[in-house]
Amino acid sequence: MGEFERIIWIVLDSVGIGELPDAADYGDAGRNTLGHITESRPVDIPNLVRLGLANIATLRYVPSASSPLGAYGKGATRSPGKDTTTGHWEMAGVWLEQAFPVYKNGFPKDLIEEFEKLIGRKTIGNKPASGTEIIKELGEEHVRTGKPIVYTSGDSVFQIAAHEDVIPVAELYRMCEIARKLLDGPHRVGRVIARPFTGTPGNFVRTSRRHDYAVDPPKPMLMDVLAERKVRVFAAASRNTSRRKTTPTGWKN
């Protein structure tokens, strides 16, 4: 195979095209985001269709290409786990032998107590929850008491939500940096996430000042190899999530 002069690598997070064999182990049995979207409404994605997207799996309202322009297929992750960090690391050449920890019943009491001691505040929450629902439930108490909301999800995350008028964003970031240092060893979660919000009870909204504190990947990985070979790289990213689903892979443009 000859060398490519340019590679354009686009990651569409949360656009899975079917569950992985172990999806049920993560509570994700039956997941098929793209399939469910196309079942519910027509979509207009002619370029992806020409490349072979609808040849990977049957998509309602989306005909497959008779002569797709690209190579196409489904990629399954080797690493255990379902979170964003695991999937992105694997794409960059890092395989995990053990999944990042998840906390179906919240974080251990001693860990939360140590975190509270380090930040000088008590916390509320400490359970898996939707980010929008947890501020509906506990936002008013947080505003009244000044206690930050700590919560997690099905992913390996330690999330801290705080109203920007109660805990300034800079202070929230400081708390996240403390948590990132604390969460190591058996509690080495994939990401610590600052979740600032504003508004009044019944009308709380999350702001754009979210900040993720991810675990540093081991070296070497893809970016290290590219840098060593002096390959120019340009990148852009937006907010993302991930689930235990197969991802369309192998397209070329």
What average pLDDT does the segment 29-56 reach? 92
The pLDDT of residue 196 is 98
pLDDT for residue 241 is more than 60? no
**Contacts for 50-54 with beta carbons within 8 Å, 24 or more apart?**
51/251, 51/252, 51/253, 52/251, 53/17, 53/248, 53/251
pLDDT for residue 244 is more than 60? no
Q: Which residues contact 116 (CB under 8 A, 6 or more apart)?
A: 122, 123
Question: Maximum distance among all alpha carbons in the chain?
Answer: 64
Examine the domain organization and report whether 90 and 137 are in the same domain. no
Q: How confident is the model at residue 99 (pLDDT cuts 50, 70, 90)?
A: confident
pLDDT for residue 239 is more than 80? no
Examine the domain organization and report whether 209 and 245 are in the same domain. no
Domain holding 168: CATH number? 3.30.70.1250
At 194, phi and psi to the nearest 5?
Answer: -80, 130
Q: In the predicted model, what is the mean pLDDT of the chain?
A: 88
Examine the domain organization and report whether 124 and 194 are in the same domain. yes
Q: How confident is the model at residue 11 (pLDDT cuts 50, 70, 90)?
A: confident
Q: Which residues contact 223 (CB under 8 A, 6 or more apart)?
A: 92, 233
Rounded Cα gap, residues 105 and 102, in angstroms: 9
What average pLDDT does the segment 45-74 reach? 93
Domain holding 228: CATH number? 3.40.720.10
The pLDDT of residue 218 is 85
Burial class (CB in 10 A: 0-12, 13-18, 19+), 135: buried
Examine the domain organization and report whether 195 and 120 are in the same domain. yes
C-alpha closest to that of 124 among 145, 108, 96 = 145
C-alpha closest to that of 150 among 174, 188, 179, 190 = 179
The pLDDT of residue 252 is 32
Examine the domain organization and report whether 152 and 243 are in the same domain. no
Residues 133-154 pLDDT 10s: 999 999 999 999 999 999 999 8
What average pLDDT does the segment 83-92 reach? 84
Examine the domain organization and report whether 204 and 236 are in the same domain. no
Query: Is 14 inside any structural domain?
Result: no
More confident residue, 77 or 210: 210
Print the domain residue range for 129: 109-214
pLDDT for residue 39 is more than 50? yes
Query: Is 104 inside any structural domain?
Result: no
Examine the domain organization and report whether 120 and 183 are in the same domain. yes
Examine the domain organization and report whether 153 and 122 are in the same domain. yes
Examine the domain organization and report whether 126 and 187 are in the same domain. yes
Examine the domain organization and report whether 164 and 77 are in the same domain. no
pTM equals 0.75
Structural domain count of the chain: 2
Residues 183-204 pLDDT 10s: 999 999 999 999 999 999 999 9
205-206 vs 191-198, strand pairing mode: antiparallel
Residue pair 160/110 in contact (Cβ under 8 Å)? The answer is: no
The pLDDT of residue 197 is 98
